[in-house]
Chain A
Amino acid sequence: MKKVVYLDNNATTRVAPEVFEEMKPFLTDLYGNPSSIHSFGGEVRKFIDKAREQVAELLVAEPEEIIFTGSGSESDNSAIMGALELADPDKRHVIITQVEHEAVLEVGHYLKGKGYRVTELPVDRKGALALDLLADSITDDTAVVSVMWANNETGVVYPIEQIVEIVKSKGVYFHTDAVQAVGKIPVDLSRVPVDFLALSGHKLHAPKGVGALFVRNGIKMPPYIRGGHQENGMRAGTENVAGIVGLGKAAELAMERMSADAAHEKRLQDKLEKGILATCKDSRVNGANKLPNTLNVSFEFVEGESILLMLNDLGICASSGSACTSGSLEPSHVLRAMGVPHSMAHGSIRFSLSRYTTEEEIDYVLEHMPKVIDRLRELSPFTHQIA
């Protein structure tokens, strides 16, 4: 296999070796259904309970507040739709932000189609939210507010502690998509009174296909998926035992390693950022106050997909906010919401590191990045116009 320098961890992460080890028995001998009466199945249940405690500990929450789901997207959908069901039926107003992940944005569009009023709060050039604007947007008919803990494209971290205070003071449900934050930065739900929180396994070195939803004690969460009584009647479907056990172990690892990982990633991210800005002119970073692992850089006069293709030939994996790489023809909605001009949005690249990223890998990227950008600038009609 050719050399791979994997810098796309916000898209997905490697399953930690310890996590894989922990999962193996459940993919081989311990395959029973935890709801079965026989002990062969039933004794698998205690491993699920353990995983639940591990995830709860990472979030500083109670185990009974954790529901296992199939993905972060499922958790987001369940939470928002659940909150609407719980709220007064007269409350037909939902507030989200313009930079949410599609799993929240699309729920918003769906609700708009059903006659709900949906406010999409704008962000400023650095990607930050105006808290007074949020406060003013909440009305008597607001059912739920959803603001992400950290943005997947830019890494911008939102002040959820302050935000939830505003929302709860008005008696409105608050949900946060914390998919990119959990495992990277401390998320302490004993201090931050959110009602709902979504997380995704494969963003923190657990396998794909498992996520979790935190629902604060006292909230009677209506099931999003109906059927059997799994997850205390809140999410039907035979448990993805191996995935759940994996998520639990990943949560435990995250707890143990978070400070060290964050310091390691931040150091390499800084090196990458400084290096790129120094060697590639007309480049700039998008977003301030970010996760330790995420770097979103725009390169003027060149386009994102072509940068990624050249990086791909070098074995470097990253992603872009350009139109050509999105499914649609518009560049990233996050960068547009931040007012990044088109000339910069199309040429944006996101590098997202992990605990496994090495300094050699960063040096390799720094060695090749200027050549890639220079080459594409040679090809571009706009470079010469300015010159």
Chain B
Amino acid sequence: MWNYTNKVMEHFRNPKNVGYIKDPHGVGEVGSMACGDALKLMIKLDDQERIVDAKFQTFGCGSAIATSSVLTEMIKGKTLEEAEKITNQDIVDYLGGLPEQKMHCSVLGREALEAAIENYRNGTTGKRELEGHVVCVCFGVTENKIRSAIQSNGLTTVEQVTNYTKAGGGCGGCIPEIDEILAEMNGKKPSKKKHARAAKPQPKKLNTLEKIRLIEKTIEEDLRPELKKHGGDLELVDVDGNNVIVKLLGSCTECGISDFTLKTLIEPKLRQRVSSELAVMEA
């Protein structure tokens, strides 16, 4: 079905640099099983901060495996500065092209590289935490990531944003927001639209009772139906200041990525609907 180039198939069939490095200098882990795409990149540097070895492990489709393989080939021998300049488009060009709907695989590759370098420089965990406002809760895509993809690749349509980041490819609820971001970044709407966004009134400070009621409402209307689709469920245990303590039920209890669900669906949704100061944790 997918029209993969020979280069993509070559790297899929015989991927280079598969595996792991003992005592790596940098590790970048991006994506997840829930997304259907996950990449773990490890790099080893010499005294001049030149990448002497790179290894990868990928859970994903033909494009995902091929882009990971190509990425490791491209960065070996480069200094960190040189490697940092590699864009997702460079990866795609090396492969001779990727189907539009698979562009997000190249973006994932780029993110893993960033994460590995950041991990080396700042000792940050290498596992990308979601920073900033999550636009797409189905796939855990932040506003930063969307803006960055639009910027680097000159995207102009929602479909392209979905192809490059997956945002909007699930329930579609975030599509209007993606539209707004596109319009703003491509300068289509007058700047007063920008001000209109900034001027969105902050939700008025809720008293404790109102906060709990709104949390319950969000759980009932937005979260439980979504989890039930996967056979899971959610129960509110307690609210302690800004801490929301929940219990995951049903198939969530045996799910390996329930943390992911907590951080990319439950917490952002509650922050969006109730208060940006909330933190969600499991009982």
Complex contacts, B228 vs chain A, CB 8 Å: 122
Known: A329-B162, A329-B170. A346 touches B65 (CB 8 A): no
Known: A306-B12, A309-B12. A339 touches B57 (CB 8 A): no
Partner of B40, one of A301, A323, A346, A381: A381
Q: In the complex, A323→B63 CA distance in Å? A: 13
Known: A322-B61, A339-B230, A343-B257. A381 touches B38 (CB 8 A): yes
Partner of A328, one of B35, B169, B230, B232: B169
Closest to B166 in A: A329
Complex contacts, B231 vs chain A, CB 8 Å: 125, 338-339, 341
- 10 A-B interface contacts by CB (under 8 A): A305-B2, A305-B62, A306-B65, A324-B60, A324-B102, A330-B138, A330-B170, A336-B230, A342-B36, A382-B256
Q: Determine whether the beta carbon of B255 is less than 8 Å from that of A341.
A: yes
Known: A323-B36, A330-B169, A379-B65. A342 touches B60 (CB 8 A): no
Most buried by B among A301, A304, A309, A329: A329
Complex contacts, A328 vs chain B, CB 8 Å: 169
Partner of A331, one of B1, B13, B36: B36
A378 on the interface (CB 8 Å rule)?
yes
Q: In the complex, A89→B250 CA distance in Å? A: 40
Complex contacts, A381 vs chain B, CB 8 Å: 29, 38-40, 57-59
Since A324-B60, A379-B58 are in contact, a sample of 18 more A-B pairs with Cβ atoms closer than 8 Å, ordered by chain A residue number, is A125-B251, A303-B59, A303-B60, A303-B64, A306-B12, A306-B64, A309-B62, A324-B62, A330-B138, A330-B170, A339-B230, A339-B232, A343-B257, A379-B18, A380-B59, A381-B57, A382-B59, A384-B20
Q: What are the 9 A-B residue pairs with the smallest beta carbon separation, nearest first?
A: A339-B231, A329-B169, A305-B61, A324-B61, A381-B57, A381-B40, A323-B36, A342-B34, A343-B33
B139 on the interface (CB 8 Å rule)?
yes
Chain B window 134-154, contacts with chain A (Cβ cutoff 8 Å), 1 for yes, 0 for no: 000011000000000000000
Closest to A327 in B: B101
Q: Determine whether the beta carbon of B62 is less than 8 Å from that of A322.
A: no
Chain B window 148-176, contacts with chain A (Cβ cutoff 8 Å), 1 for yes, 0 for no: 00000000000000100010011000000
Complex contacts, A336 vs chain B, CB 8 Å: 229-230
In the complex, which residues 15-70 of chain B have their Cβ closer than 8 Å to any Cβ of chain A? Answer: 15, 18, 20, 29, 33-40, 57-65
Closest to B39 in A: A381
Q: Determine whether the beta carbon of B15 is less than 8 Å from that of A306.
A: no
Complex contacts, A331 vs chain B, CB 8 Å: 36
Q: Determine whether the beta carbon of A380 is less than 8 Å from that of B57.
A: yes
Q: How distant is B138 from chain A, measured CB to nearest CB, in Å?
A: 8
Interface size class of A (residues with CB under 8 A): 20 to 34
Q: In the complex, A331→B257 CA distance in Å? A: 16
Instruction: Enumerate chain A interface residues (CB-CB to B < 8 A).
Output: 122, 125, 301-306, 309, 313, 322-325, 328-331, 336-339, 341-343, 346, 378-382, 384
Q: How distant is A89 from chain B, measured CB to nearest CB, in Å?
A: 30
Q: In the complex, A45→B124 CA distance in Å? A: 76
Partner of B33, one of A305, A313, A330, A346: A346
Q: In the complex, A147→B35 CA distance in Å? A: 30
Q: In the complex, A325→B1 CA distance in Å? A: 8
Closest to A337 in B: B229
Complex contacts, A306 vs chain B, CB 8 Å: 12, 60-62, 64-65
Q: Determine whether the beta carbon of B61 is less than 8 Å from that of A382.
A: no
Q: Determine whether the beta carbon of A380 is less than 8 Å from that of B230.
A: no
Q: In the complex, A341→B1 CA distance in Å? A: 25
Complex contacts, A304 vs chain B, CB 8 Å: 61
Most buried by A among B29, B166, B229: B229
Q: In the complex, A100→B254 CA distance in Å? A: 27
Known: A339-B231, A342-B230, A379-B15. A303 touches B251 (CB 8 A): no
Known: A313-B13, A329-B162, A346-B36. A379 touches B57 (CB 8 A): yes
Complex contacts, A329 vs chain B, CB 8 Å: 36, 139, 162, 166, 169-170
Q: Determine whether the beta carbon of A342 is less than 8 Å from that of B33.
A: yes
Q: Determine whether the beta carbon of A301 is less than 8 Å from that of B61.
A: no
Complex contacts, B254 vs chain A, CB 8 Å: 341
